[in-house]
Structure 1
């Protein structure tokens, strides 16, 4: 169990920062969904913040998500935010509220197939590699139009928006242009919604850059270290 006092202080600071950044962009705290990134975090620490009203958890690994899933009630919203292999899709389609990391048509096709088997329409976000980083997954901005054109063929998925992971910079101002670029694309796609493309979420911003992301239009942020502190990875 992580130190409760530290978690409380972290959450208080994050909420204040979200509120301030949201107001700068003409919105309010309630307009922003905070996802607690809980990879490697113990269940007791997760339950501690759940009791405080946090019910959105983001996991990067299928095995960890499925294990933790059984420890919570159905009021928890599970977000899969890591790279998803096609052969693992079947293990999470009945558990997640949102898959953030759809980065290929092949993956979209598999999610559609598994969703059809359980009679669900799965909400997903398209992961976009705005900065064109070799080390990161995601489609490139110039591929979005073709991706969306193909996506309308899969009726058991619903595209709810975009997700991006900005390059890490000590000064988050340096990544502001990437957030701006994806927001502009998001707005254009939103004007041309189709039967299974309903743009609702812009998942941008992590511990180091979430305030800048919110100022540029993000309405969903993914915070791990900022809440739970630095993780010790084995």
Structure 2
């Protein structure tokens, strides 16, 4: 576990430095430990070291871990969610980061109503415009949010985006800045019945830039467990 502890400490130092540069409070930036390529043992280690928030992007990979750990932790579904998988995810994952179409919102509403508890969701926006990425085009965000606002069991807590993969973290800055502006525009438009605050953006290669641009949730994987046995 020493390797993971060292990685966590190094990431924490970088997060604190980025917060200082941006004039932000450290407590306003959360970490989701993305364990999609790891085993249940790796996820358990993350939880033991105080990483309460766990990120997974496919139910078939998450299921054995979730069951082995007895539902410990706070789980975030961060990948593209197929409508027919909503029944598996809702009730186990506290957050869904990939709401991007009404058919998905409607199914989440249906399942959440049956369970009697709302689901916290991030609307995914394709800020970069890459065809390979999921998410709403930016111009569709406000109309989509107005539709979602009619679903009382779907609670929009923020926006999510994926930046282009690039060796230079700075290349992600316009995308992260764009998502922050979209969140502000969404709030100004009053498309929802409440204000949304959160921005789910920034991964292992660009999280410092994401913090500087206002990220409230970082999705970190390899930076936390690189060179660590995942079996």
Please give the range of the TM-score, normalised by the shorter of the 2 chains: over 0.9
Query: 2:120 maps to which residue?
Result: 123
2:192 is matched with 194
- Who is 2:179 aligned against? 182
* The one of 203, 209, 212 aligned to 1:212: 209
**What is the alpha-carbon distance in structure 1 between the residues aligned to residue 178 and residue 69 of structure 2?**
37
Instruction: Give me the TM-score of the superposition, normalised by structure 1.
Output: 0.92
**2-structure distance, mates of 1:96, 1:133:** 27
Q: Is the 8 A contact 1:158 1:198 kept in 2?
A: no
CA gap 1:194/1:139 in 2 versus in 1, 3 angstroms: closer
Pairing partner for 2:65 from 62, 65, 68: 68
Q: 1:49 to 1:56 in 2, by over 3 A?
A: same
How much does 1:200 deviate?
2.8
Would you say the 8 A contact 1:83–1:101 is kept in 2?
yes
Of 95, 112, 119, 1:98 maps to: 95
Q: 1:24 Cα shift?
A: 1.8
User: How much does 1:50 deviate?
Assistant: 1.1
1:40 positional shift? 2.5
Aligned match of 2:38:
41
- CA–CA distance in 2 between the matches of 1:32 and 1:75? 21
Q: Aligned pair 1:150/2:147, yes or no?
A: yes
Count of residue correspondences: 229
For 1:121 and 1:198, how far apart are their aligned partners in 2? 17
* Residue 106 of structure 1: how far off its partner (Å): 1.1
| Equivalent residue, structure 1, for 2:50 | 53
TM-score, normalised to structure 2, is 0.93
Aligned: 1:28 with 2:25: yes
The two structures, once aligned, show a CA RMSD in angstroms of 1.9
The answer for unaligned runs of 5 or more in structure 2 is none
Local SS of the residue matching 1:70: helix
- Kindly state the Cα deviation for residue 213 of structure 1 after the two structures are TM-superposed: 0.5
Residue pair 2:35, 2:42 contacting (<8 A) in 1 also = no
Which region of structure 1 is more displaced relative to structure 2, 64-73 or 161-170? 64-73
- The alpha carbon displacement at 1:73 in A equals 4.9
Once the two structures are TM-superposed, the CA of residue 34 in structure 1 deviates from its matched residue by 0.3
Q: 1:67 deviation in Å?
A: 2.2
CA change 1:190–1:72 in 2 (3 A) is: farther
Question: Where do 1:71-90 residues align within 5 Å?
Answer: 71-73=68-70, 75-90=72-87
